[in-house]
Amino acid sequence: MTSLKNKILFFLFLSLLYSCSEEGSKQAFIDSEIEKYLSSMSIEEKVGQIFMIEISHISPEEVRDYKIGAILNGGGSFPYGKADHALEDWQTLADEYFLASKNGENGSGIPVIWGTDAVHGHNNLKGAVLYPHNIGLGATRNLELIKTLSSAVAKEVYLSGLDMTFAPAVSVPLDDRWGRTYEGFSEDPSLVAKMGKASVEGYQGELGKNYLDKGKVLATAKHYIGDGGTLNGVDKGNTVLDETDLLELHGQGYQTTIDAGVEFIMASFNSWNGQKLHGHKYLLTDVLKDRLGFQGVVLGDWNGHQEVDGCHSYTCPEAINAGLDMFMVTDSWKKLYENTLEQVKSGQISLERLNDAVSRILRVKILYGLFTKEQPTERQFNFIKDSIGSKEHRDLARQAVRESLVLLKNNENTLPLDPDSTILVIGKGSRDISKASGGWSFTWQGTGNTNDNFPGATTIYKGIEDFVQKAGGNVSYSSDGSYSEKPDSAIIVVGENPYAEYQGSVENLAFENNEIDHLKIAHSLRKDGISVTYIFLSGRPLWVNKELNSSDAFVAAWLPGTEGDGIAEVIFAQTIEGNPVDFKGKLPFSWPKTINQTNLNFWDADYDPLFEYGYGLTYLERSNLDQLNENDQFTKKLKLGDVLLQGWPSPQFKVYVGFLNKTFELEGKSVGSPNGEVFVQIVDGKLQEDAHRVALNVGSSKWYLEPTEIMNLEEEEKASGILTFDFKINKQDAINPLYYLVDCGENCDVELDLTTFINTLQVDRWQTLGIPLKCLKERGVDLKYIESPIGFTSKGTWEFEVGKVYLEGGEGGKSIFPCK
């Protein structure tokens, strides 16, 4: 017994020793290879390696001459600029770059890497399969599926001759107004972390198993860090959090993808507490590399370095010094190259830092086997049977579509529909692959496409038509809801039009549809006894109370991609592998009850969604949704903690300055009266662009904040609300006081003389001040009817700065206006 146990232990010990030494010798080999290359490289060659340049700005000859490390194609950028391309165009161009890079004149021959945004399939390539965007994958909760489909995407990228994808996004979108919400899997950081890991394992293969085998490509976790946490969901905005929260909310996906061996991490456009990530040494080097142990390459985003203070597109030693290993650049790459070279020569960038960056890049190229890989056109010979857009890949995408659909309403069990009946389909989304695919689909924005750009794709309508006809039913399309034969049921397909990045950011969560009057159509169909099912296409949850009320059944279908027939499989409960298909999708994001619940996440203290995170009906449940409030969106409520203004006003507010009876709205970064009596400008206060510098130059001028709808602050007063604001005095009038101004409708302007209060403050220093709502009430403000909660006016000359304005409870560490 004991001897057997000993034997087993001994065996385990031996195999451990063996695997350690195997690991160790592999590591030693990689190190010696890196050393071999590094020691023979000139400074020029090293600088060339830290560049990734967009293909429309660099030729293969330039890649050769400048010894460039990597290239990319941006969204909607095709080989030879050909939108009407074939697979061979990608492979041939990849050959040209690859061979040019290997044939550098002095024989250094470090092959170039080509990266692309294969973010939901190989989405720039004509004929590739487009999978649901990450938001839909989040709804599936199926990690195995994500791994499998990422591995299918990797194969398509590999077969086209490319090496790398800028995916997965492990963003955690917290404010759904953000135009990139759909690129994130979920509002739940831990789900994002798991899904990010699964997709890296799919793209790159698994460590110790099939890691970076043939047919795998390099993955990129992005955008490090806090891209989904910016104030008001502003793209490239500012994420204001302490470090623990930053890592807890936005960092989990980096830890899991690093553990899975992700080789690239893309720095984000956003700032953390006012400082841009591309120049953030603490986050890029101390946290990411040193603490989280990332050994791969920190890649810049699209000219992202130029946003760092003091940088331009053509010069930014700050970024490299902060820990960026590779610039992503477009037209100004030559100047940036020359400046960077100069900066290394002058010591502004240390040779040590450059060597570290180049070593990381070489390490990735060695691990990926790039030095021994065939030229791109020959890579497909390893996968003779596999083709782009194969049935196998389309089956996978359809499975993902099926599992991503979330059933939000199914009154009287309207679904599943009977295929052996008469069905009317309405809405152009049902026949438009672009609308079902969203941004990053053939073109960057996903706009400007026709279905011809998606050969092999199946529309939602086609999926319905095929199945209904097979079952003996009748199906027709109508653009306006009219019909010749009365249908038994109608399917309305509507939703958002495609967008990407900042172009998709919105002010609130209202669903704006200008395509057809679908509500009217739905009402009249239902009046005629025809059931109405909505298939809603969107990149985020939106306020759709009216649509929900006008429907019998409602399906959130996200952005399903090219395999639209997955939808018919679920709504008709088709039989697949012997079983009727049911809904599986669960909400990956909380669904709002009002258009202003933009920052709605399941851990909120006052969480009050329409549908909770994780909600999703199945056919086994019987559940009827009652009529919902359709006007709710107009009652603007403030909650304690809400930010009204921080440089840029929150969407429900506007900023004005006024002189005599004329007012001027702040629309850009500054505004003033024509003769300069009053002027306001957005400036850097504590953070970037977070404060208003207000100059009241002549008497009777003012600055004020106005909500887009009248506000009622009675309840907030009961909750001891205090209007709190950061304030700094630059110039003080010796005689004329400054007044705090509240506007509560006609004959209800209340002014508080701030003189005594202000005399206790220091000039030129930020202070946090508070005006209790109770005090306003005592001074006669009608809290039910607030037209402007905060403003300043004087008869004299003042200059001051207003920073963050928010509604707080309790006393806090601020100076409170003595009301008396």
In the complex, what is the shortest distance from the CB of residue 304 to ligand BGC, in angstroms, rounded to a whole number? 8
Q: How far is the CB of 221 from ligand BGC (least distance, A)?
A: 11
Task: Please give the Cα distance from 52 to 73 (Å, whole number).
Answer: 10
Cβ 220 to ligand BGC shortest distance, Å: 7
Q: Are 167 and 131 in contact (CB under 8 A)?
A: no
| Alpha-carbon dihedral angle through residues 334, 335, 341, 342, given to the nearest 10 degrees | 160
Which lies closer to ligand BGC via its Cβ, residue 117 or residue 569? 117
Quick one: 175 or 743, whose CB is closer to ligand BGC? 175
Where do contacts with ligand BGC occur on this chain (CB under 6 A)?
A: 74-77, 117, 166, 222, 301-302, 444, 501
Q: Is-contact 714 783, C-beta < 8 A?
A: yes
Nearer to ligand BGC, 73 or 531 (CB): 73
Give the nearest distance from C-beta 222 to ligand BGC in angstroms.
Answer: 6
133: left (phi over 0), alpha (psi -120 to 50) or beta: beta
Q: CA 405 to CA 570: how far, in whole Å?
A: 8
User: In the bound complex, what is the minimum distance in angstroms from residue 24's beta carbon to ligand BGC?
Assistant: 35
Q: Which lies closer to ligand BGC via its Cβ, residue 77 or residue 633?
A: 77
Cβ burial, residue 209 (10 Å; 0-12/13-18/19+): exposed
What stretches of 41-127 show up as alpha helix (H) in DSSP? 43-49, 60-66, 87-102
Extract the tokens encoding 90. Answer: 């990608």
- Asked if residue 280 lies in contact with residue 268, where contact means CB atoms within 8 angstroms, the answer is no
Closest approach, Cβ 224 to ligand BGC, in A, equals 11
Catalytic status, residue 301: yes
Catalytic residue among 117, 183, 301, 307: 301
Q: How far is the CB of 484 from ligand BGC (least distance, A)?
A: 45
Name the nearest CA neighbour of 177 among 503, 437, 556, 443: 503
SS3 annotation, 164-229: EECCCECCCCCCCCCCCHHHCCCCCHHHHHHHHHHHHHHHHCCCCCCCCCCCCCECEEEEECCHHH
Measure the CA–CA gap between 315 and 335, rounded to whole angstroms: 8
Say if residues 660 and 698 touch (Cβ distance below 8 Å). no
Would you tell me the crossing angle of helices 2-40 and 351-367 to the nearest 10 degrees?
A: 120
Are 59 and 99 contacting, i.e. CB atoms less than 8 angstroms apart? no
Provide the 8-state DSSP code for 795: S
76 to 160, 446, 661, 818: CA distances (angstroms) = 16, 9, 50, 60
- For residues 75 and 427, which CB has a smaller minimum distance to ligand BGC in the complex? 75
Of 312 and 546, CB closest to ligand BGC? 312
Active site residue 684: no
Q: What angle do CA 691, 692, 697 make, to 5 degrees?
A: 150
Instruction: Tell me the Cα Rg of the chain.
Output: 30
Short-list 516, 525, 536, 534, CA closest to 487: 525
Whole-number minimum distance, CB 286 to ligand BGC, in Å? 24
CB within 8 A of 152, min separation 6: which ones?
A: 129, 202, 392, 393, 396
Least separation in angstroms between residue 16's CB and ligand BGC is 40
Single-letter amino acid, residue 296: G
User: From residue 725, how far is each of 233, 682, 766 by CA, in Å?
Assistant: 21, 15, 10
Return the closest-CA partner of residue 393 out of 180, 225, 152: 152
Closer CB to ligand BGC, 53 or 617, in the complex: 53
- CB-wise, 444 or 589, nearer to ligand BGC? 444
| Nearest residue (beta carbon) to ligand BGC | 74
Strands 70-73 and 51-54: parallel
Nearer residue to ligand BGC within complex by CB, 302 or 664: 302
Nearer to ligand BGC among residue 302 and residue 483 (C-beta): 302
Of 176, 501, 565, 706, the catalytic one is 501
CA distance 533 to 512: 19
* CB-nearer residue toward ligand BGC: 440 or 648: 440
Coil, strand or helix at 275: strand
Active site residues: 301, 501
